Amino acid sequence: MTPNLILFYVADPVASAAFYERLLETPPEAVFPTYAAFAFESGLSLGLWSESAKDFVSGGSGHRSELAFMVPDDAEVERLHEVWRAMGVEIEQAPIDAVFGRTFVARDPDGHRIRVCTPDD
C-alpha cells in the first residue's frame, strides 16, 4: 500500500483551490463546491475537503501537520519565500537554517502549514 492522498479540511474549497493554484502555479485537477484536488507528478494528490460537506466528520482540531516541498538549493528557498510573501501569503516562519537544511513555513487561508526546505549536505 502506498499513500497517494493528503486531505486538508478547509472552509471554502473553491477559495482554497484558487490559493493553491497561485502558490503551486498549476491548475487543480478538480474543483467542486465541497471538494477540490491537485495532482502532483509524484503521484501524490492534495485534496481540499469542505468542513461543511454533508458527510464531513472530524473530531480533531488544530494543524499539527505540514505539506512539505523539497527544493534543490537554498536559493530556491529564498526565491519562493520572496515570491509567496509578495503574493500576500502568510509566512509563519521566515527562512532559517534548521538541522536538516534551509527552510521556511507559510500558512494557507485555513492555517495549514506549508514548508519549503532543502536537504542538508
Q: How many independent structural domains does the chain possess?
A: 2
Look at residue 52 and tell me whether its pLDDT is greater than 90. Answer: no
| Residue 61 placed within a domain | no
| Residue 56 placed within a domain | no
Q: Please name the residues in contact with 108: beta carbons below 8 A apart, sequence gap of 6 or more.
A: 8, 10, 16, 19, 20, 23, 114
pTM of the predicted model over 0.85: yes
Chain position carrying cell 509567496: 84
Give the pLDDT of residue 1.
Answer: 77
> DSSP states of 33-46 as a string?
TTEEEEE-TTS-EE
Range of the domain at 45: 5-50
Give the pLDDT of residue 18.
Answer: 98
Sheet with 30-32: strands ordered across = 5-10, 45-50, 35-39, 30-32
Q: CATH code at 79?
A: 3.30.720.110
Give the pLDDT of residue 60.
Answer: 67
